[in-house]
Amino acid sequence: MNNILDALEWRYAVKKFDDKASLTEQQILEVKKVFNLSASSYGLQPYKMIVVQNPELKEKLVPASFGQQQISQSAAILVFAVRTDFDMDYIDQFFEDMSTKRQIPLENLEGYKNFMKGSFANKSENEISSWAKNQVYLTMGHMLVSLAALQIDACPIEGLDPQAYDKILDLDAKQLKTIVAMPIGVRSPDDASATALKVRKDLSDIIIDL
Ligand SMILES: Cc1cc2nc3c(=O)[nH]c(=O)nc-3n(C[C@H](O)[C@H](O)[C@H](O)COP(=O)(O)O)c2cc1C
């Protein structure tokens, strides 16, 4: 693959995975690292990704995904969830991490920390949860492009019942809430969607050059 444009032409939302094909441990590790390298607002990463490879759990997630079969046929299902434990202590912890990792005394970060805390103190609970949800969607876009570059097939899935996912994966106890999912693996050779031409607007309809 020559460049990112080739990778983006290669990728598509897979409707049928090869259920005999698996991903290597190395590939799964790369997927996890790619997720962790996503940009996020302030770098706060108010989310987690659950990597479901357990066959029984995958099967249970099919009815919770309106019967979409690509869920069970995939090699793994990535579930993107927002953290429900995001609060001022979380921000304090973030700055402690920054201080350690960048070797900057905590007191030098005090001004920035107070600014950040102030910006969240002014937000309602709903605003914070919609902010966190936006961050999750950003990671999904980041994953779609990155996985294409790694030649790992994927299908973004918004068609799911988040509460059912939370229950099956016991996410309440982990202080998480499901937002979206993404089965990943290897496309089936007979997935008709693989050869369907992309439906996209003309550049002149979607880009404004000024
Ligand atoms: C946020 C989001 C949610 C989606 N949810 C589903 C889904 O539940 N099931 C599905 O088969 N495809 C889903 N898709 C895939 C889109 O239908 C697909 O990306 C779009 O038709 C463009 O086709 P392409 O990705 O194959 O180029 C979703 C895509 C996005 C970005």
For 10-24, write each residue's pLDDT tens digit: 999 999 999 999 999
Cβ(77) – ligand 1 distance below 6 Å: no
Residue whose CB lies within 8 A of the most ligand 1 atoms, among 12, 17, 155, 161, for a mutation test:
155
Q: What is the mean pLDDT of the chain?
A: 97
Is residue 196 a part of any domain in this protein?
yes
When pLDDT is averaged across residues 183-204 and rounded to a whole number, the result is 97
pTM assigned to the model:
0.97
Cβ(147) – ligand 1 distance below 6 Å: no
What's the total number of domains in the chain?
1
- pLDDT higher than threshold 80 for residue 179: yes
CA of 108 to the centre of ligand 1 (A): 44
Q: Which residues pair with 178 in a beta bridge?
A: 81
Is residue 14 a part of any domain in this protein?
yes
In the chain, the amino acid numbered 41 is: S
- pLDDT higher than threshold 60 for residue 156: yes
CA of 181 to the centre of ligand 1 (A): 11
- pLDDT higher than threshold 90 for residue 202: yes
CA of 203 to the centre of ligand 1 (A): 20
Q: Which range of residues forms the domain containing residue 52?
A: 4-86+138-206
Is residue 121 a part of any domain in this protein?
no
Is residue 92 a part of any domain in this protein?
no
Q: How many helices (H) and strands (E) does the chain have?
A: 9, 4
- pLDDT higher than threshold 80 for residue 128: yes
- pLDDT higher than threshold 90 for residue 1: no
Cβ(9) – ligand 1 distance below 6 Å: no
CATH code assigned at 195? 3.40.109.10
Closest ligand 1 atom, CA of 198?
27
Cβ(12) – ligand 1 distance below 6 Å: yes
Length of the chain: 210
Is residue 21 a part of any domain in this protein?
yes
The answer for residues whose C-beta is within 8 angstroms of residue 136's C-beta and 6 or more apart is: 47, 80, 81, 82, 179, 180
* Percent of all residues in the chain with a pLDDT value above 90, rounded to a whole number: 99
Q: So what's the pLDDT on residue 2?
A: 65
Q: Which contacts (CB < 8 Å, 24+ apart) does range 125-128 have?
A: 128/86
Cβ(159) – ligand 1 distance below 6 Å: yes
Is residue 131 a part of any domain in this protein?
no
When pLDDT is averaged across residues 61-89 and rounded to a whole number, the result is 97
Distance between terminal CA atoms of the chain? 33
